Amino acid sequence: METNSPFETNSQFKTTDNGKNAAIVSYFWFIGWVIAYFAMYKDNKTELSRYHLKQTLLFHLVSTVLSWGLSLFLIPIIFATGFGGSYYILRVIQVVLFVFWIIGLIAAIQGEKKPIPLIGDKAQTMFPSI
């Protein structure tokens, strides 16, 4: 007896997923990465999704450590010394990370395996199990 899933469709508009969806979703914070990995990548392992999952995992880790670490380090300096330049250092780093994020997201949308500057190539060797 054949059971039809309520999510199956006989639509003529079926598309094949080449991993692009998982690549795009992985750029949206850690929750997006988790969704992309467990809900999209596990059943459809492609080179494109693997590439971007590795890259975004390292990117999310680096950006979180930099943001939290510099905030915890620079904010006390600002209050102790009154040096407001520390605030601008933090903002410049955040803008640079945002630009890197945009570069990676655009590559994922276009279906390309383009590395994020300073992070992308290193990520491909750091996470061999993905």
Residues 22-38 have pLDDT tens digits of: 999 999 989 999 999 99
Q: What is the pLDDT of residue 28?
A: 93
Place of tokens 């999952």: 53
| pLDDT tens digits, one per residue of 42-101 | 888 899 999 999 999 999 999 999 888 877 776 677 667 666 666 777 788 889 999 999
Q: What is the pLDDT of residue 14?
A: 47
Place of tokens 């993905």: 130
Phi-psi category of 127—alpha, beta or left, where left has phi over 0 and alpha has psi -120 to 50? Answer: beta
∠107-23-98 over CA atoms, to 5°? 55
Q: Which amino acid is at 88?
A: Y
Distance CA 130, CA 127 (A): 6
| pLDDT tens digits, one per residue of 113-126 | 999 999 989 999 99
